Structure 1
Amino acid sequence: MPIADQIRPIRWQNDALELLDQRQLPAQEHYLRLQEVEAVAAAIRDMVVRGAPAIGITAAFGMALAARAIAGTADWRESLNRSAEVLKRARPTAVNLAWAVQQQLHNAGLCDDVTTASEALLRWAQELLAQDIRDNQRMGALGAEVLPPEGGILTHCNTGSLATGGYGTALGVIRAGIAAGRNWRIYADETRPWLQGARLTAWELQKDGIPFSLNVDGAAAHLMARGEIQAVIVGADRIAANGDTANKIGTYALAVLAHYHDIPFFVAAPVSTVDFAMPHGNGIVIEERPAEEVRQCGGRELTPAGVAVRNPAFDVTPAALIAAIITEKGVVRPPFLEGLAALGG
């Protein structure tokens, strides 16, 4: 089955960064035009762009914009460091953000002046975007060989083009498998509270003409018990050196359910998502987001006024529950510490 793969949520046009505003999907496809680093940080924080790889790419362009804005400044390195901190504070959990910002600081350190740095940072951001798409396509091909050849495949949150530069991680594996003729039935969790599955994954699957069923998050156990699910595949926002994986809230529950029902649970993510300095998942900072995201839906109040809310954006799935981690450089199976280290060099 041919796959269109035409969704590109991040683009550089006419000396500005343009981001597909994911808050407005699926009702409207609208690109925001950003020319200042503060606006890029706000876009990351406010969920205009989301997904670890996409956040990293966006931050790389943010650093390029910061360098362009300080042309002619004597203390341009200090100014660039301040912009880096602004970007890194936007969201704390996804390692790709800090990784991309540090890479851009390194690139700037190789330059003698801000003009050269500005050109170098923009060039690297553009290369990162292009490389991410190629890596995702490679990851998809590798993952399609690992998942069962037929049956139900359940995914959580959005891990497609919208979460990356294009093609996707876990959803990229699904794209590659369907294109290769796998006899899969796709199930997408709605993914509360931002409904990334209901709004974004469903939108992408429809665009590609891939048949699927949307289900509420709480239906996963029922579907597994009925034998409708043969594998679960998710993305990752940060993977510790031992394989513990932080991903969208609800992922850990899926992994526990899959383990109980003897269903393989897969993670698909680029090697840049692995935090080799983080020994295990206990050290991963979990972002707590505003209570209004749970109290409201589409601006409409759902709860009694003032109700207390816990809104962790992520949870950590222990490595022991993961069958394999699929990357662009290869598929790693337990023990993950050695396998991931080998991929990371």
Structure 2
Amino acid sequence: MQFPSRDQVPPAASALEWHTNHLRLLDHRSLPEARVWVECRDADEVAEAIVQGVVPGAAAGVVAAYGIALAARRIGRSADWLAALKPDLTLLAGSSPASAQLGWVLGVVIDRLQRLPSSGADVPELLAQLAMDLHLSDREAARSMGQLGLQVFKRHASQSQRLLAMPGNLAGGSLRGLLELARAAHGAGLMEHLHLCADQDAGALRLARWALEQDGVPVSAQVLAAAGQLMKGDNLHWVVVGAQRVAANGDVISDLGTYALAVLAMHHGLRFMVVAPSSAFDVGLEDADEIEPEDALLQRDGRLQLDVTPAELIDVLVTERGVVERPDAGRIAELLSPLRLH
């Protein structure tokens, strides 16, 4: 990994650039004071960038797909691509084990590797194209989440509203969904101000604040401990969070502090919205009660990193496939049904 490369920054939505033989990542840790780019030339450097927080862990999915493309370019040729890339797939899977989106993306990559033509395929180029397709799909999903979230705001109020969000748990598709939602709500005259609060992941807060300030969205940064007082005295209307993983019944696994925000929101009569791409759903997890507090999913290095917010505390769950109000197992199953288009 090469540090640092200071450069002119493209539009705020572009924190990732693909350059055929390397990947450039906007270092979230440096924002907004400096705009530093990190270059990754193989899967090891991509995994290191995820672990070190250059990109938030839950944003690792698309980044990891490019990492596999880089690994394939390094290998060049192979009679068994799945076997050749297995060490890189394992390494990237371990860079952010709590991210359902990362697991989903790597599953798509593995499926593609299992369906390669018998001969003649340029596999490095094929995997690069797959990563670009996933990247584009991720952006389109964010735009859909923003528009669907805006429709929810419109249904509940016609006047400008004040929001509180926790971007530390809005990484990846969730974070981009929040950014699109904030821009859309501000453009429609439905958002007066957005408070961003964070505890663990200050990098995601800096990224979100910087990106929104580029578009003139009124935003401020707050410590997470101030959330209760803001709810009490600042005339807030919504609390918006994201998800690393969503269980089949709608329980949400996300950054530590999400559960406390949900309880505070209920106490103060605020609506609680979860923004999450469909790739965050883990239908194999019936509910979050299956996860013990000491589970590796919730901890890293012996310290609690994530918590569980039960579905009954969630008013609205927004995905690119649609909106679920008062989520439960039946509504989640309907949302994810292959027969449902949108």
Quick check: 1:157–1:248 contact (8 Å CA) kept in 2? no
Quote the residue 1:211 is aligned against. Answer: 218
Residue of structure 2 aligned with 1:278, choices 264, 272, 285: 285
Quick check: 1:10–1:165 contact (8 Å CA) kept in 2? no
Quick check: 2:32–2:210 contact (8 Å CA) kept in 1? yes
Quote the residue 1:242 is aligned against. Answer: 249
Q: 1:182 to 1:37 in 2, by over 3 A?
A: same
SS at 2:226's partner residue?
A: helix
Distance in 1 separating the partners of 2:22 and 2:192: 40
Quick check: 2:168–2:204 contact (8 Å CA) kept in 1? yes
Pairs within 5 Å for 1:289-328: 289=300, 311-328=303-320
Q: 1:20 to 1:287 in 2, by over 3 A?
A: farther
Quote the residue 2:270 is aligned against. Answer: 263
Quote the residue 1:93 is aligned against. Answer: 98
Residue of structure 2 aligned with 1:140, choices 146, 154, 169: 146
**Runs of 4+ residues over 6 Å off in structure 1:** none
Task: Give how far 1:6 is off.
Answer: 3.4
Structure 1 gap segments, 5+ residues each: 291-309
Task: Give how far 1:167 is off.
Answer: 7.8
Quick check: 1:159–1:171 contact (8 Å CA) kept in 2? no
Task: Give how far 1:311 is off.
Answer: 3.9
For 1:153, the aligned partner's letter is L
Distance in 1 separating the partners of 2:298 and 2:51: 11
Pairs within 5 Å for 1:16-55: 16-50=22-56, 52=58, 54-55=59-60
Quick check: 1:248–1:314 contact (8 Å CA) kept in 2? yes
The normalised TM-score by structure 1 is: 0.85
Is 1:79 aligned to 2:87, yes or no? no
Residue of structure 2 aligned with 1:200, choices 194, 202, 207: 207
For 2:264, the aligned partner's letter is L
SS at 2:210's partner residue?
A: helix
Task: Give how far 1:188 is off.
Answer: 1.2
Q: 1:183 to 1:198 in 2, by over 3 A?
A: closer
The normalised TM-score by structure 2 is: 0.86
Distance in 1 separating the partners of 2:213 and 2:225: 23
> For 1:318-345, what per-residue CA distance to the aligned partner results, in whole angstroms no more than 9, with x for missing partners?
1110001001111012343122222222
Question: How many positions carry a matched residue from both structures?
Answer: 319
> For 1:43-93, what per-residue CA distance to the aligned partner results, in whole angstroms no more than 9, with x for missing partners?
1111111152x3110111111122222223344321212211111011111
Structure 2 gap segments, 5+ residues each: 1-9, 338-342
Quote the residue 2:4 is aligned against. Answer: none
> For 1:287-325, what per-residue CA distance to the aligned partner results, in whole angstroms no more than 9, with x for missing partners?
5346xxxxxxxxxxxxxxxxxxx7422211111100010
SS at 1:6's partner residue?
A: coil
Identical positions, percent: 34
Quick check: 1:159–1:172 contact (8 Å CA) kept in 2? no
